[in-house]
Amino acid sequence: MMRKMAARGLGRSTRFGFWLRAGLSALGFMLGALALPSTVTAADNSRRPNIVVILGDDLGYADLGAFGSEIRTPNMDSLAKQGVRFTNFYTNPTCSPTRATLLSGVDTHRNGLGNMDEWTAPNQRGAVGYEGHLNERVATLPQLLKDAGYHTYMVGKWHLGKSPDQIPRARGFERDFSLLDGAGSYWDMTNMTSASPLSVFTEDGRYLKELPKDYYATQTYTDKLIRFIDDHRGDGKPFFAYVAHQAPHDPFHLPADWRNRYAGVYEKGWDAVRKARLNRQIELGIMPAGTKLAERMWFVPDPIVLAPEKRALLAKKMELYAGMVENLDHHVGRLVDHLKKIGEYDNTIFIVFGDNGAEGTDLAESIAGTPGTRDALHFATKWPNNKPENWGDPGSYVGYGPMWAQVSMTPFSQYKGWVAEGGIRNALVVSGPIIRRPAGSINHGVMHVADIMPTLLEAAGVTYPAKTTAGQQLPPLMGKSWGPMLAGRAESPRTAQDYLGWEIFGNRAVRQGDWKIRWQYKPFGKGDWELFNLANDPAERSNLATEYPEKLGHMKALWVDYVKANNVILPSRSPFETLEFKLPPRVPDDEGYPPLIYKQQFEPPKDMWADPEPNQGHSR
């Protein structure tokens, strides 16, 4: 099937042949032009650590057992027990901006992903920082580490550009096996839209005509990485591995023996599961006692009022998702076991997190659009296998919706794409020789994905250069090294004066200390600034803008500073611009309202029951 699909795609176009020919010349040019004068400050005879960054795609804050989940994730939990869990770690609200910041250490509006390439607004086209791919104005973590003597490997989802000068090989990865698109099948090359029906993959800088036999994304990525590591064993060089898993991004594809491991677990409904996760988070120390859940999204029904068949069908979606997360953990365990087997585990830094909030939007519905359109036809022909009994198979497409996305983001508000905490706060695990804090401890310092680059450069003994070899000025790193904190000499990499800023699709936010402001499109927001104290209200239930006008003014001034510092261009168009008219009006979530549908059958006292008296009336 995969061979036939690839052959059909090649028959329609010669794009792969063009890329292969263009790649040979363009890659050589770019690799030379982008070589950077990084400085190795560690002694040459010291054993520098290996580095493994494990990125889950749309993996939720509360999806690991170590962060309160009922999903079995023993391997990532084991890394947490040997390392440190961080509860105030932030990414960007969507995937490619987070990945660009991770690999560049620079704000998304400066590194080329000021907006996702798929949603670049008309007024952003052609602007610096909005190229839609990781631009040439930034240095990359793998390039700096490679120049300093590291092997650099990548497997998984790239989503940062497709042309020969933008692929992983051109941006510093020595070896790679990469999906260049943002999503797609786990079984084959089937992609999401009629205009781009085939996903594009590279291996070691070459575009693939077809995928390996017996391809399954999560397993194949792990197989490839283990092979890369083994190919260079014994040469004395450390390695950096960027493991950018596609899982658990929809569609929920997984082998048959992984699909029913949570059968019946979720029929109790999303409210009950969310409450149970919060209780475990409080017990673990992830959340403080007294933490409240965010309001259930107003357009999501209370599962109690659904018919049993409907609840079971929606529960099956979450069963598949849980299987995806457990399968991801299984393959993380395969990698960890291999590193132990070859004697590299103890000298390896592990960083594990998700790239943004869980996905609550129905991506298939968003893309397929109106019946009669070309994308609706594409989904009908390329993703037709959608009976519930076939979910997980090739050709099926299923996500789990806003109700379960809120479960994955317990206890926070909202999910991916938004700048509420549910869109930008993620679970983070760090373990390995860089840690000097107690094993299994929890830290609540405010951290950001941009911090990873300076942290890892410091751990590797590499200095971030001021310029490229061509003399081009590099932007300063926006992150803060975690070195002192991981060593136990500080509780946070940030002072009370430091702040973080976000903007995507026109939604925007700033956090400084415990305070946060956010502006979001209606109906998820108010179309105006809201103010929250996250220390007392991590679920963002209480808007304090009216109560604290001076604090609001101070935070808005920080937003202006962020815009100027990072060339933020608010979009003239947004994917959320008509959402207010598509969803029902926003109403409060008051438990048990309206009583009409919650009041149980009235039962009189047992001693007052009686049979009716015989009818004494006239017969008719």
Decide if 479 contacts 450 (C-beta within 8 A).
yes
Residue type for 53, please?
Answer: V
Alpha-carbon distance 169 to 171, whole Å? 6
Q: Which of 54, 231, 207, 67 is nearest to 151 (CA)?
A: 231
Decide if 102 contacts 560 (C-beta within 8 A).
no
According to DSSP, residue 520 is labeled -
- Integer-rounded Cα radius of gyration of the chain: 26
Catalytic residue annotation? 95, 159
Decide if 407 contacts 318 (C-beta within 8 A).
yes
Bond from prior residue into 523 cis (ω within 30 degrees of 0): yes
Residue 172, Ramachandran bin (φ over 0: left; ψ between -120 and 50: alpha; else beta): left
Q: Which of 167, 223, 218, 226 is nearest to 24 (CA)?
A: 167
For residue 11, how many other CB atoms are within 10 A of its CB? 8
Q: Give the chain's largest Cα–Cα span.
A: 112
Decide if 287 contacts 538 (C-beta within 8 A).
yes
CA 406 to chain centroid: 14
The structure tokens listed for 394 are: 């090739």
